[in-house]
Amino acid sequence: MTHAANPDVLRRLKSVEGHVRGVQRMVEEGAYCIDVVNQIVAIQRALKKVSGLVLDDHLHSCVTDAMRGPDEGTRERVLGELIEVFEASGKG
């Protein structure tokens, strides 16, 4: 159920990490609050994009294998996980 690390996902997570450090500097330097909040919103958007990429990988690997496989329990599990992810999304 694991697969090779997607380099685009890793690259974007590194970019998010740099963005978070940039916001720390803004806070340390007393940047205007609204600018800080806007940068945090931009980071949240970047993270949503990463989730979308991870989910895309997931649908094309684990979910496809499970759904085309013979085990109804496994199919039920992957579908239940998708619903949970959808319900948790946008609650950030």
67 and 80 Cβ atoms separated by less than 8 Å: no
Tell me the site size for a second copy, rule CB under 8 A.
64
CB of 21 to a second copy, least distance (A): 6
Question: CA–CA separation, 85 vs 51, rounded Å?
Answer: 10
**CB of residue 7 to a second copy, shortest distance in Å:** 10
> Shortest approach of a second copy to residue 72 CB, angstroms?
10
Question: DSSP 3-state assignment of 55?
Answer: helix
How is residue 18 written in tokens? Answer: 């740099």
Q: Contact between 75 and a second copy (CB under 8 A)?
A: yes
Q: What is the CA radius of gyration of the chain?
A: 18
- First-to-last alpha carbon distance for the chain, in angstroms, is 27
Interface residue list for a second copy (CB under 8 A): 1-6, 9-10, 13-14, 16-17, 20-21, 23-24, 27-34, 36-38, 40-41, 43-45, 47-48, 50-52, 54-64, 67-68, 75, 79, 81-92
